[in-house]
Structure 1
Amino acid sequence: MTTSLTGPLTGWIAEQRWFAGKGRAIEEVTIDSDVELSPGLRHLIVAVAQDGDRDRYQILLGEREPLPPRLAHVRVTPTVYDAAHDAELTGALLEAMAANADIGPLRFRRMDGAVIDTGQRSLVIGAEQSNTSLVFGDAYIMKLFRRLTPGVNPELEIVTALARRGSPHVAQPYGWIEADLDGENTTLAIMQQFLSAASDGWALALTSVRDLYASMPGLPASDAGGDFAAESHRLGAATARVHAELAAAFPTGVVEPPEVKRLAESFRHRLDRAIAEVPALGERADAAHEAYNRLADITGPVPVQRVHGDYHLGQVMRTPTDWIILDFEGEPGQPLAERRALSSPLRDVAGMLRSFDYAARHMLADHPDAASLEGRAREWADRNRSAFLTGYCEGGGRLHEEDAALLHALELSKAVYEVVYEARNRPSWITIPLAAFL
């Protein structure tokens, strides 16, 4: 089966959402590893050559003849398909994980003390950009990392460490899949508790914003039916507690003033590149330069530690008891060393502050009353940003007066990234990050 698949895989892989090489010609696809997990289910690691780069991807393949109509949408050839979508086969992943099995070069590992029900059936959820997640019943969610980077994934590293410390703010890990890639132990998948009764933070925030926009003109955000400030406060406190747990579980350090100045220069270079791509940003760049200039006022060491790295309302879930934080893998497009590097916890704080702005403003992009609602958007964002920061401080997070300059610079640096992203992907949303520079 393997030798005849490279041709079909070349065309198929280029069309997948999780394929990182879109827009570039594929020079060659080779199969580095082909392991039979169970009858009819194979695990492949394929290498894709493009422009001198060689990226590897993880694929589950099944083979059926004839191919059932329910699997036609994931067909690779007339009889071969993406088996992540086949609940009759994916139970083999649970069985191998429960047994701590080694199958060829693949190692399935169960978390110490975890009990895995191997009778659960899977369903692929969402349309993720870089991974594929399988929900098994209402018990587990297994994230398959499609594009593979040699090394232990930060999400596995952080979630297992925090779970062993009894953190109430992470979903319980049950196990993972690993293999050696370029001589390094590499994470292929992680399985955690599926939060079936939880609500997505982004969706909850948007409900609050809609309630405010639909309320009587002039009604304060605090009096609108879906006021979110209390939840923002709780989220701030949960964020601070997770930062404290990360500092206890992993090494910490400090960044001295000369390194802070180099950070400011990197922010300026990023700003210059962004202006070259999005000239409209140049009209508002003074605000960013002023924020970066203020970093020179930092004369003492800045604490750094492991952080989330890609923190926003879409990465948190509200359970009946508290907030749970997800997706500790950092920005998937960045090198693994950068995602695991120590950073100021204010980086996460800045990311969440930007997310509140997005929640408040994104519905204004095509809204007929956008101009009249602008003030209400600003009021909602300010109220929830303030509540989050208050909760963060009360939860033990460091946010002193001398931290204000770094937080503001980090927030505007994030907004610079957002301007470029929206210009490339959602031009109608570009006003959201541009508003951060007013």
Structure 2
Amino acid sequence: PGSPWRDFYVWSDTSEKYKDARIIFTDFESSNWAWDPVAQAYYWHRFYKHQPDLNYDNPRVRREILRVLDFWFQMGVDGMRLDAVPYLVEREDTNCENLPETHAVLKELRAHLDRKFSDRLLLAEANQWPEDAAAYFGDGDECHMAFHFPIMPRLFMALRMEDRFPVIDMLEQSLDIPANCQWGMFLRNHDELTLEMVTDEERDYMYKAYAQDPRARINVGIRRRLAPLLENSRRRIELMNSLLFSLPGTPILYYGDEIGMGDNYYLGDRDGVRTPMQWSPDRNAGFSKANPQKLYLPAIIDSEYHFETVNVENQSRNFSSLLWFMRRTLAIRKQFKAFGRGGIEFLPSDNTKVLTFLRSFEDENILVVANLSRYCQAVQIQMPDYAGFSVHEVFSDNRFPDIAEAPYTVTLAPHSFYWFALKEPVVSTLPEADQVPHLQCQVTWSRILGSKAEAQLMSTIMPYLRRARWFAGKGKGIRRLRIADSITVPVHDQPVYVLQLEVTYTSAPREHYLLPIAFAGHDLQMKIVRESPEAVIAQLALKDDEGIVYEAIYDEDFRQMLLDLIVRRRSLKAGSGRLVARRGSRFSSLLADGVVPEVSRILKVEQSNTSILYDHTFFLKLYRRIEQGVNPDVELPRNLTEHTDFANIPAFAGAIEWQSNQGAAATIASLLEFVPNETDAWSYTLDNVERSFGYAQTLKDKIEESPCVPPSILDIDPDTLPLPIRDFIGPVYIEMAVLLGRRSAQLHRALASLSRSPDLTAEPFSLLYQKSLHQSIRGMTLKVLAELERSLPKLEDRTADAIRGILAEKKTILGRLRRIAERKVRARKIRTHGDYHLGQVLYTGKDFTIIDFEGEPARSMTERRLKQSALRDVAGMIRSFHYAAHGAILLRAVRQGADIDYLERWADLWYTCVSGTFLHAYMREVADADFVPPDKEDFALLLETFLLEKAVYELGYELNNRPDWLMIPARGIVQMLR
């Protein structure tokens, strides 16, 4: 008594004061007062008797607490948890919790913090019901965050009861909080799974469900870590963490739960969940090198959770581990502001075992679907406000069926979850119903062409043409649109007009496009508008009927007519020519049982043509831009099918030509065999690159240096690749790269063997041709470099720096290109694919099929039929591998929160080894062929020239289309120059 330090604590001459205050640790304490024989008085403790409470009514105590804050924040601490914050102050005739004086102390702390450390955080530990806990935010002037205690046990209750109600019920009771505050969400904390904020009945249920052994219980809680609580079920652990990360608030993880550590409740108190972190299988779990007996608590040695098995080092090596799941999930969560700041809306659904809610913020909408059941479940979710939205699973970005007016159905595996990003429909280029052009004319549909109404009809076709995906003249000024020719086809009771439209531009050569149009009366009109609204061109009131003008390709009968033309080898008369169909020699053998397919559908892909699938038998490509001359997309597949034994293309089945009366012909359609496939080689490769990157990330903490990248793809031999590199790439994909190299070589051998016409026969290289080639590539390079220099101010800093580096090497680049004109190369020019990359190859699951011999659509038909070096195709494929390696980082790794600089080094290794493997297999297959140089230096010269040409072309393309991707070709050029 009399000491200033005595007033730092709360004293009383009697233990009867504050009798309304509850005892927190009922297992260990019988009173909140303890007798001090020295002071001859009782001191106050809300927890254990060895933890006397401070007297916050004493100004000196509050000043000392501020000094403590200053000390730790100056040391660099980011935030502090305010332990047991409701119990700071005591008053008679109250329960000594949540008192106004307590809030006054907190406001004082916060004001001090805002003055000196505005970027630090206070987290309130207030084990209270939501309305009481929310008071610790004040008006945004007390704690920045507060633990949401009541939701924690209800997550576990919902899981065990397999019922979403406990979660929904509690969150619907949560109050709105200040905008600068946030709830702290957690599954368990440093103490125990506390059951204070549940009813007596709920507490009894939780004990029976999660702590049947009484020794696992403490006070009014359960002293277990997360994995033992959930019986070490990986599915349930992932499900609970997914809810933690997706519910409103900031998720708080406690050490050990990210790897599924066990506990030891035999240690007493809460020590069983405070055992050393398990870093490695080494001594003391890598936590300390001390004598194990000196540790403050022993490491876990339970057989199921032994530190030699469950530790960070082991799980870092395994990309399928819980640790990697947590890393990936957190990285995904950071991509969406909706998880952190978005509102929550529980969505009505028909299955109470499935929790469904929406997190929304600004233009982000994340649908969370969680199966609380141990069995598979299906759920139908009511989302009428989101009809038309596309649904993308956020981890893979795979697209699910779009939302319709009807309930959205999702099926789930036991204890599984989905996070779906709901994306608004792309702003349609379709006009609204009241914006569709309306025409009225006093003729019948069969007489509309050639009448005065034809000009009106053309005025409605113009806006339709501008919004058509296949029309390439959107950015050009159109001077005139007219019908150059037409064919009348009897399909329904009303004719279909196949129009050849001539588009005259203000400052570009004229072009011709194919557009079949039809008229639909009332009954058919409703079907077209409902199923294919994009097909509608205009509303039309005729002399004898009313309906719509629509694009006939959306009519199944018209599509069947196109196939029948080829089946019957028919011709149709046009105004100044005719439509002629022919069958390929393999047509009959491609028909299953000789039956012509009668079911067709349009493939919904963005491209310059229209693709139609006939009952998984035939694939018809309708060419929208009509160009006179031989189409290589018909010429090459037909000759390869009929005059070689190369089987890795879709067999040619037929074609349709528009022949003019003057003898000129233009292909408007080609018919090919449909090849069943798993995916294209681009998607297949991206999936494998992602797997390789996952493997690389498991090595990050184990290797001190970056992977050693071989100096050249020409030095790679797949048979001698070191085992670590084979493990990184994957032995299966290495074999697939070998197979693709062989198939590419076999394609070129087959093309080189064609000799039925001078247009197909191989020709020798000449120095004159090489100089012409150099001039062409040089001109393109100078143009692209000039465009890049002009665009520098618009580029991001990192990209601009890379482009400046390339511009500084302009002389070096031109010098490298000049070498092709300085020495004669012994090789032959052949017909080539012309646009060869991974997207032009289908992966069947065990082999590859090469498609699309159209060449680059931007080039003229005659240019696409020029003979080239086969190595131009090879260079295209090698550049495609480079795009896959580095594009996977942009497309997927960024979303997974990966270390980009680290992965780029691995991407270089992947690209070099895979490209080298592909090239090695190709070279082995063409070793005796005369269309590639026999001299290794000449081979390397040609390949480098075409690789550099392709990369420079890519720079120009990305600059005008995807500036974010400029770094990929830029990095490729830097590698080549090295």
Mark yes or no: TM-score above 0.5.
Answer: yes
Secondary structure of 2:468's aligned partner: coil
> For 1:388-407, what per-residue CA distance to the aligned partner results, in whole angstroms no more than 9, with x for missing partners?
11111122253641211111
Give the equivalent residue in structure 1 for 2:917. Answer: 387
1:145 to 612, 623, 627: 623
Once the two structures are superposed, the pairs formed by residues 118-137 of structure 1 within 5 Å of their partners are 118-137=596-615
> For 1:69-116, what per-residue CA distance to the aligned partner results, in whole angstroms no more than 9, with x for missing partners?
112222111311122222243111111110000111101111124125
Deviation of 1:198 (Å): 4.3
Give the equivalent residue in structure 1 for 2:127. Answer: none
1:55 to 511, 518, 538: 511
Q: 1:166 to 1:198 in 2, by over 3 A?
A: farther
Deviates more, 1:276-285 or 1:228-237: 276-285
Contact 1:56–1:147, Cα closer than 8 Å, also in 2? yes
Letter in 2 for 1:191: L
Q: 1:192 to 1:122 in 2, by over 3 A?
A: same
1:64 to 520, 533, 536: 520
Give the equivalent residue in structure 2 for 1:410. Answer: 946
Deviation of 1:296 (Å): 4.1
Deviation of 1:320 (Å): 4.6
Q: 1:197 to 1:437 in 2, by over 3 A?
A: closer
Give the equivalent residue in structure 1 for 2:679. Answer: 199
Give the equivalent residue in structure 2 for 1:167. Answer: 646
Once the two structures are superposed, the pairs formed by residues 218-367 of structure 1 within 5 Å of their partners are 218=699, 220-224=724-728, 226=730, 228-249=733-754, 250-279=760-789, 280=803, 281-365=806-890, 367=894
Letter in 1 for 2:626: L
Task: Tell me the distance in 1 between the aligned counterparts of 2:639 and 2:567.
Answer: 20
Deviates more, 1:21-30 or 1:338-347: 21-30
Deviation of 1:380 (Å): 1.1
Letter in 2 for 1:274: V
Contact 2:597–2:617, Cα closer than 8 Å, also in 1? no
1:114 aligns with 2:587: yes
Contact 1:71–1:86, Cα closer than 8 Å, also in 2? no
Contact 2:842–2:848, Cα closer than 8 Å, also in 1? yes
Secondary structure of 1:27's aligned partner: strand
Contact 2:729–2:910, Cα closer than 8 Å, also in 1? no
Task: Tell me the distance in 1 between the aligned counterparts of 2:871 and 2:855.
Answer: 15
Task: Tell me the distance in 1 between the aligned counterparts of 2:597 and 2:875.
Answer: 42
Secondary structure of 1:127's aligned partner: coil
Secondary structure of 1:119's aligned partner: coil
Give the equivalent residue in structure 1 for 2:474. Answer: 22
Q: 1:24 to 1:203 in 2, by over 3 A?
A: same
Q: Which has the higher helix share?
A: 1
Task: Tell me the distance in 2 between the aligned counterparts of 1:382 and 1:119.
Answer: 45
> For 1:296-319, what per-residue CA distance to the aligned partner results, in whole angstroms no more than 9, with x for missing partners?
453244310111110000001122
Deviation of 1:383 (Å): 1.3
Contact 1:91–1:118, Cα closer than 8 Å, also in 2? no
Contact 2:553–2:559, Cα closer than 8 Å, also in 1? yes
Secondary structure of 1:393's aligned partner: helix
Q: 1:405 to 1:121 in 2, by over 3 A?
A: same
Q: 1:215 to 1:256 in 2, by over 3 A?
A: same
Higher RCO (C-alpha 8 Å, min separation 6): 1
1:97 to 550, 556, 566: 566
Taking structure 2 as the reference length, the TM-score comes to: 0.43
Task: Tell me the distance in 1 between the aligned counterparts of 2:941 and 2:683.
Answer: 31
Deviates more, 1:211-220 or 1:270-279: 211-220
Deviation of 1:34 (Å): 2.0
Secondary structure of 2:538's aligned partner: coil
Letter in 2 for 1:114: F
Secondary structure of 2:628's aligned partner: coil
Give the equivalent residue in structure 1 for 2:688. Answer: 208
1:7 aligns with 2:459: yes
Contact 1:106–1:179, Cα closer than 8 Å, also in 2? yes
Task: Tell me the distance in 1 between the aligned counterparts of 2:890 and 2:680.
Answer: 22
Q: 1:336 to 1:225 in 2, by over 3 A?
A: closer
Give the equivalent residue in structure 1 for 2:961. Answer: 425
Give the equivalent residue in structure 2 for 1:373. Answer: 903
Deviation of 1:287 (Å): 4.7
Secondary structure of 2:467's aligned partner: coil
Give the equivalent residue in structure 2 for 1:31. Answer: 483
Deviation of 1:120 (Å): 2.8
Secondary structure of 1:77's aligned partner: strand
Letter in 2 for 1:143: K
Task: Tell me the distance in 1 between the aligned counterparts of 2:505 and 2:696.
Answer: 56
Deviation of 1:206 (Å): 0.5
> For 1:228-276, what per-residue CA distance to the aligned partner results, in whole angstroms no more than 9, with x for missing partners?
2211111111111111111111211122123313322322221111111
Deviates more, 1:269-278 or 1:32-41: 32-41
Letter in 2 for 1:133: S
Task: Tell me the distance in 1 between the aligned counterparts of 2:839 and 2:686.
Answer: 11
> For 1:112-151, what per-residue CA distance to the aligned partner results, in whole angstroms no more than 9, with x for missing partners?
2412543332211142331111111111110011111101
Contact 1:88–1:121, Cα closer than 8 Å, also in 2? no
Give structure 1 stretches of 5+ with no counterpart. none
Give structure 2 stretches of 5+ with no counterpart. 1-447, 540-547, 701-723, 755-759, 790-802
Task: Tell me the distance in 1 between the aligned counterparts of 2:973 and 2:476.
Answer: 34
Deviation of 1:327 (Å): 0.7
Contact 2:829–2:869, Cα closer than 8 Å, also in 1? yes
Task: Tell me the distance in 1 between the aligned counterparts of 2:912 and 2:865.
Answer: 31
Give the equivalent residue in structure 1 for 2:971. Answer: 435
Contact 1:287–1:437, Cα closer than 8 Å, also in 2? no
Task: Tell me the distance in 2 between the aligned counterparts of 1:97 and 1:128.
Answer: 26
Deviation of 1:65 (Å): 2.1
Secondary structure of 1:14's aligned partner: helix
Task: Tell me the distance in 1 between the aligned counterparts of 2:502 and 2:821.
Answer: 45
Deviates more, 1:38-47 or 1:67-76: 38-47
Q: 1:223 to 1:408 in 2, by over 3 A?
A: same
Deviation of 1:37 (Å): 2.5
1:74 to 535, 538, 551: 535
Contact 1:310–1:348, Cα closer than 8 Å, also in 2? yes
Task: Tell me the distance in 2 between the aligned counterparts of 1:335 and 1:146.
Answer: 14
Task: Tell me the distance in 1 between the aligned counterparts of 2:725 and 2:554.
Answer: 44
Give the equivalent residue in structure 1 for 2:441. Answer: none
Letter in 2 for 1:87: E
